[in-house]
Amino acid sequence: MGDALDIMQIAGVGAAALVTEMTRSSWDSMRDAVARFFRRGGEERAEQELRLIDTARQRLVDNPESGRGPVEERLHRALAIQLEAFLQAYPDAAEELQVLTDRIQGTNEGDSGGRTTVHHNSDSQIVIAGGAINASGGFHYRAPEGGR
């Protein structure tokens, strides 16, 4: 049961990383890495798997950015199922998918390493995030003890 859970987890994380990567300019090189991953099942299996991924990616990029949320969610679920099925057939590929996922996540973290400079900022708060920020009750800022 533990192995099945690990496969589900790796497939889910891998699917999320791939969905994120599909809309980036680096997709072609990432697609090559995904193709190498699926070749563990042979050329014919790799072609079938890539055909599914290419079709799903096309649906995603054909949608305007503002309407991609639901498409991304469906794509994530479909890719997780696809990757989980592949890993059940080829469990030794789990480590390779984990490495690929780490590579994608490392690249994405590198993208967020931008530089921010703030000037003449008094009596205000700066919030910098590498992703979405949700604050249902709003943001509350209290000046540090001891004043300025």
pLDDT single digits (tens) 39-67: 999 999 999 999 999 999 999 999 898 88
Mean pLDDT check: name the lowest of 16-20, 99-103, 108-112. Answer: 108-112
96: containing domain:
2-111
Kindly report whether the global pTM for this prediction surpasses the value 0.75.
no
Determine the Cα–Cα distance for residues 72 and 64; give it in Å rounded to an integer: 12
Total domain count for the chain? 1
Mean pLDDT check: name the lowest of 105-109, 113-117, 142-146. Answer: 113-117
Q: Would residue 140 count as lying in a domain? A: no
Q: Would residue 133 count as lying in a domain? A: no
Q: Which of 132, 98, 142, 88 has its CA nearest to residue 112?
A: 132
If you compute the radius of gyration of the chain from its CA atoms, what whole number of angstroms results? 20
Q: Which of 85, 104, 96 has its CA nearest to residue 23?
A: 104
Q: Would residue 128 count as lying in a domain? A: no
Q: Would residue 54 count as lying in a domain? A: yes
Q: Would residue 73 count as lying in a domain? A: yes
pLDDT, tens digit, 9 for 90 and up, residues 126-140:
555 545 555 555 555
